[in-house]
Amino acid sequence: MNSKPVLVLSLALNVILAAWIVRSPGPRPVPSIGAPEVVVLPEPSRAAGQRSATAAGSLDPEVNARPETFGWRQVESGDYRQYLANLRAVGCPEKTIRDIVVADVNDLFVSRAAAITQTNLYRYWRNDPLRRTEEQERQLRELWAQKRDVLRTLGFDAPDLTGLMADTMHDAMLERDRRIEFLPEPKRQEVKDTIFRAAQQSLIEGNSVAQNDAIELEVLSKIQSLLTPEEFHEYELRSSTDAQRLSGTLDSLELTEQEFRAIFDSWRSLKALGVGTPERWEVQQSSETALKRMLGPERFLRYLDGVRQWGYPE
């Protein structure tokens, strides 16, 4: 059974990748949000300030001509209600106000959600690498309920696609960050930029499956050129199609990290050899002997049942 590479799926979810690239790298100040009638705004982000100042300044040519007479500090506030009043006082359109405030609230609660799970061990070798406890699930449900209360109090209770994406895709974005956190920051950003540019290209050009496959190979080649051999191996253990398929298929075995890495390396060794060749047969037998010794007879049989659902690598 064939499955399309993980990157192709990422190309189709360009919105998620965009959020992954542009969202603030660190947590924002967290206000104390109690009853809906007490709604406090944290220090506005630079991006939110630029959006508001631009939107408000563009309404009056005289204001644009005298930028020193208008500043973000005239609009921002530590209270959402005052924030809204200030935006309206400078003539900011209601639609723009909604966009600014809803985006800011979403950013705030995504940061608070990240704080709940930030200490979770990232187990890239498992099908659910950021597995949460029941207590964390409860805290997150309460958090999203608080967010809905805040928006409802501010008069923004209509269904909002941005908020839905922020809530449902939070784990996906967090996992993408964790996949490459082993890299030093300059390389981490270069990898993000490379994937994002490919996503943009695919979306704009409306590529076919074959074209997306070609883009994937180009992206992998570019990423490989950015990393050392050791770093690229770690990247593939976390992000490659083979790694995703193995972690999903073998999740019931509850593999250790060492076991997963051994299986992955064995899988890759077989893929590098021609199908049906004596050399491949010899490597396969040696690999299976080593894996059986490592997993034990019962788990090894379960391993074979799993991987043979879609055959040895071709």
The chain-wide mean pLDDT, for the chain, equals 74
* Residue after which a domain boundary falls, among 164, 179, 194: 179
* Least confidently predicted of 95-109, 193-207, 292-306: 193-207
- Residues 172, 43 share a domain: yes
Overall size of the chain counted in residues: 314
- Over residues 7-29, the mean pLDDT reads 41
Which pLDDT belongs to residue 314? Answer: 60
- Residues 173, 284 share a domain: no
Compute the distance between CA of residue 176 and CA of residue 192 in angstroms, rounded to an integer.
9
The DSSP letter of residue 3 is -
Which pLDDT belongs to residue 287? Answer: 92
DSSP secondary structure string for all residues of 251-294? GGG---HHHHHHHHHHHHHHHTS-TT-HHHHHHHHHHHHHHHHH
Within a domain: residue 48? Answer: yes
* Residue after which a domain boundary falls, among 161, 179, 197: 179
Note down the domain range covering 166: 31-179
**Between these two residues, 253 and 274, which has the higher pLDDT value?**
253
How does residue 273 score in pLDDT terms, banded at 50, 70 and 90?
confident
- Residues 257, 171 share a domain: no
Within a domain: residue 164? Answer: yes
pLDDT tens digit string along 75-92?
Answer: 666 677 888 888 888 888
- Residue in 131, 77, 108, 83 with CA at minimum distance from that of residue 251: 131
- Residues 255, 173 share a domain: no
Percent of the chain with pLDDT over 70: 66
Q: How many distinct structural domains can be found in the chain?
A: 2
* Residue after which a domain boundary falls, among 145, 179, 213: 179
- Residues 305, 169 share a domain: no
pTM of the model: 0.60
Within a domain: residue 112? Answer: yes
And the tokens for 29? 């100040």
- Over residues 282-306, the mean pLDDT reads 93
- Residues 131, 264 share a domain: no
Within a domain: residue 237? Answer: no
- Residues 259, 174 share a domain: no
- Residues 260, 135 share a domain: no
Within a domain: residue 14? Answer: no
Phi and psi at residue 40, to the nearest 5° = -115, 135
- Residues 145, 57 share a domain: yes
Within a domain: residue 10? Answer: no
Within a domain: residue 199? Answer: no
Within a domain: residue 266? Answer: yes
Q: Is the pLDDT of residue 142 over 90?
A: no
